[in-house]
Amino acid sequence: MENTKITKIKRAPYKNAEKTRRDIINAVISLLRSNKKLDSIAISDIARKAKINRGTFYHHYDNISQVIDDIENELMEKINLLWKKSSEEDNTVKSFLRFVANGVVENGNLYMDLINNVPRYVFKDMREKFFHLMETEFVKIKPMTNEEIYQVNILVSGISVTFIEWLKGNNSNYTLDQLIEYSSALVERVVY
């Protein structure tokens, strides 16, 4: 008997794979925008909204948490891009906060949908990623002690909450420019 090697043929991704992933992400965002809480969204809701079948969903994702991870990663990529743009223009904390604040305002509806309907662990993950980005960039400016790193972590948490409250309209005593000014002054005291 001849020994034949059976090779598995690797399927090429189908043409619309990226479009389908985008449709799934948009379906989840749309469901969140309709004030549906994340834990009440079913795969069948997403499939119906994205005009796909459940099998297609499972071809791209194992569960809804992975879709949320992709949304979170996209938002972090935008923040990374804003950091790079701000450092090219003016490598200051104020410049970065202005770029991020403008990005948040431009995507305010999406952020509000996420804030109101996504579990807190998602924001904890994003805050930790954001803090890691800031720590990495600040250490390039000046080596930081553990105490300074901890202080920046506290400031990032406070600044994040302050901007979220401003977006919600709960902190309307200040303009966006004032929030940027006060936040950057606090961070600069710790970092510089």
Domain ranges of the chain: 17-62, 65-191
pLDDT band at 27 (very low <50, low <70, confident <90, very high): very high
Return the pLDDT at 3. Answer: 55
Number of helical (H) and strand (E) elements in the chain, helices listed first? 9, 0
The yes-or-no verdict on residue 44 having pLDDT over 90 is yes
Domain 17-62 has CATH 3.40.50: no
Return the pLDDT at 97. Answer: 78
Residues 6 or more apart whose Cβ sits within 8 Å of residue 79: 100, 103, 130, 133
Q: Which amino acid is at 172?
A: S
∠ CA 63-46-42, rounded to 5°: 60
Percent of the chain with pLDDT over 70: 83
Mean pLDDT of the chain: 79
Question: pLDDT tens digits for 59-83?
Answer: 999 999 899 888 888 877 877 787 7
Neighbours of 2 (CB within 10 A): 3
